Homo-oligomer: A and B are copies of this chain.
């Protein structure tokens, strides 16, 4: 049975990190919320699981993955579950924990990206928290991007197997996620990203290598890849951007 991915329709969002791994591996999956109601799919099929009053393993929020009866929630958890099956995880058990630790650092960074435009409350409109968003974005660009991306640059540099992948001797799901973060930052903060490839040459090179992988290149060109927009995690509000 094909994997079932459950995530909001209309945005890349957090679901995209899972899609990139599935697409890179070329395995079949069903993007449930984007399917038709007549096929038992669509957003209502996703909400039915989240709101179930009998399912023991209800997820807190999308994305989640169904593999048969098993429901796995949270991006990093889904990726550690899929990684070995997709040939996108280190072979060594210990290294798998290290890969997962890297992915959880990406999770933290993505949450901070979200909070650049929603620093006060997810329940409020961006327009109602714009001043706080400007202050938080300034700190994000000046302090947090260097801290997170500088960290990934160091991990690449210190990889004994070479700086063309973040862990071990082959591309893993973590590299695909770093690609997505860099894509998103370019979309949301083009001014801040102008000198990115000089500041973080290894991370930039990794991004460029991932987009040249045939399955990723084909996916990014397909209509399965939705464009970034102002409903997702990475949003382009020019007033939040500044030179880095």
Which residues of A pack against B, CB within 8 Å? 52-60, 64, 70-74, 76-77, 81, 94, 97-98, 100-101, 104-105, 107-108, 111, 115, 119-121, 123-124, 129, 132, 135-136, 139, 143, 148, 151, 154-155, 158-160
Contacts and interface: CB of A to CB of B under 8 A. Distances in A.
Contacts of A97: 70, 72, 77, 81
Contacts of A74: 100-101, 104-105
Query: Which 10 pairs, one residue from A and one from B, show the smallest C-beta to C-beta distance?
Result: A121-B139, A73-B101, A74-B104, A60-B105, A70-B94, A120-B135, A57-B98, A72-B97, A132-B132, A120-B136
Contacts of A59: 101
Contacts of A72: 97-98, 101
A123 B139 contact: yes
Given A94-B70, A120-B136, A151 B56 contact: no
Given A115-B115, A119-B136, A121-B143, A158 B56 contact: yes
Oligomeric state, in copies: 2
Contacts of A108: 60, 111
Given A97-B77, A105-B74, A115-B115, A58 B121 contact: no
7 contacts: A56-B159, A57-B98, A60-B148, A74-B100, A77-B97, A119-B136, A120-B135
Nearest to A168: B56
A105 B76 CA distance: 12
A19 B111 CA distance: 25
Contacts of A159: 56
Given A56-B155, A72-B98, A73-B98, 18 more contacts: A53-B158, A55-B158, A56-B160, A57-B101, A58-B151, A58-B155, A60-B105, A60-B108, A60-B148, A70-B98, A72-B97, A73-B101, A108-B111, A111-B111, A119-B132, A121-B139, A132-B132, A132-B135
A122 to B, nearest CB: 8
A237 B129 CA distance: 22
A106 to B, nearest CB: 10
Nearest to A109: B60
